[in-house]
Amino acid sequence: MPFDPEVLAPILGTMFVGASTLLLTAAIAWRIGVKPTMRALLEYRTARAGSDPQLLRRLSELEDEVRALRAQLEVLPEGGVSRSLLSAPWRPGRERA
């Protein structure tokens, strides 16, 4: 049974458009319903920080690195960097986040 291109082309076109629409709808539904936002993910990680030793280690390493960078900034001349960087809080409280 030979396939007639005049009959097969509209069927394939309709299938392609339908599949693309279904994929797009599934992606939007995943983004809205399932995948958490970055803020929710960070709040979740912060909430369970006490039970995650690797996170505590990474946080302490980051704090040490920030302290070292601040010490380096204090040595720079006044015109080299904004002094507001040194006075800005680097670990904001819960109320600001």
pLDDT of residue 97: 42
**How many domains, in total, are found in the chain?**
1
Kindly report which listed range (16-25, 34-43, 61-70) carries the lowest average pLDDT score.
34-43
Q: In this structure, which amino acid lies at residue 90?
A: W
- The answer on pLDDT for 13 being more than 90 is yes
User: Is 85 a domain residue?
Assistant: yes
Residue range 51-93, pLDDT digits in tens: 667 877 888 888 889 888 888 877 776 655 565 555 555 555 5
Domain that holds residue 73: 53-91
Residue found under tokens 């005049």: 6
User: Is 6 a domain residue?
Assistant: no
